[in-house]
A and B are shown apart, each in its own frame.
Chain A
Amino acid sequence: MATKTSRKHSLADAALIPLDWTEERSGLVGYTKWFLFRKVPHDISWAQTLGAASLTAFIVQATTGVFLAMYYKPDPSNAYSSIQNITEELTLGWLVRGMHKWGASVFIILMFLHMARVFLFGAYKYPRELNWILGALILVSGMAEGFTGYLLPWDNTAYWATVVGININATGPFVGPFLAQFLQGGLMIGPDTLPKFYALHMLVLPGAIMALIGLHLYLVVRLGVTSPPWSKTAAGRERGPEAGAREGLIREPATEGDSA
């Protein structure tokens, strides 16, 4: 019996060796504990899972994007045929491409719903203003991902949709024409446009989104999650008679000058 227990202990110690090794050199275990073992308000609900759902959608996009990038060829003469190869020839290629294509819409929709929740709960107010700005930047970067990714199949729909998108960009004040020329890689959409969009789509924008998500999550943990505004036991609620007086629920005591 004693031998069995001591063997169990030594196994547990052996399992902890890599964790201790990592913690001593990076502090990563401590950060993970800081992220996981924290408290959240007791009245949070499913509405507060939309941020995690958006993050999951982004991870799906990143994972499927890596597999697509292994087979996609970003030059005008091979792009369309490589997409056909992925969809029709590769094992489960249709599934991975479908997940990436539809997942893009899911990612944007979830971000909108998450932002709507944050707005309606008033979770953008002090001290979470910076996190709202970061979230808005993630949304803009996500939409830019959608725009740059739309050209990659290099078919008629992709080409003309990008022409329209770039023309809209060109109408912007001051920087519009320069932005349009930068995106096209010249005066019109051509062979230089596709590699540029590909680089933006799979290097620059995902990198930016990952960095922004990292900061966003750091601030979520640091500042905490807000209670629903209708909760009677919301964390941070005002107590005492002054809380009711501020909301007009308790009448201020009448003074001598009051007529009625």
Chain B
Amino acid sequence: MGVPLSERNRAGHKRYKEDVEREGKSFWPYAVLHDAIMSSCRSSSSR
């Protein structure tokens, strides 16, 4: 007998929250400034 889908979904989302808390990067300033702006500056300067 498998685990009901709703319970699997809830467990999956709980795991998602824990993973993001443990392995994720900060939205500000890392994801916005570093990923978006600084990486584009780096790629344009390397051209």
- Chain B, range 1-47, C-beta contacts under 8 Å to A: 9, 12-13, 15-17, 19-21, 23-28, 31, 35-36
Give the interface size bracket for A toward B. 10 to 19
B40 to chain A, nearest CB (A): 9
Q: A39 contacts B28, CB within 8 Å?
A: no
Proximity string of chain A (40-57) to chain B, C-beta cutoff 8 Å, 1 when within and 0 when not: 111010000100000000
A38 and B27 contact, CB distance less than 8 A: yes
B27 and A236 contact, CB distance less than 8 A: no
Main secondary structure of the interface of B (DSSP, over half): helix
Instruction: Tell whether, in the assembled complex, residue B24 and residue A235 are in contact, meaning their CB atoms are under 8 Å apart.
Output: yes
Question: Which chain B residues lie closer than 8 Å to A42 at the CB level?
Answer: 23-25
The A interface is mostly helix, strand or loop, or mixed, namely loop
- Report the bound CA distance from A237 to B35 in whole Å: 23
Closest residue of B by beta carbon distance from A36: B28
- Asked if residues B19 and A41 are in contact (CB atoms below 8 Å), the reply is yes
Distance to closest chain B CB from A79 (angstroms): 41
- Min CB distance B9 to A, Å, is 4
Report B46 CB to chain A, min CB distance, Å. 17
List chain B positions with a Cβ less than 8 A from chain A. 9, 12-13, 15-17, 19-21, 23-28, 31, 35-36
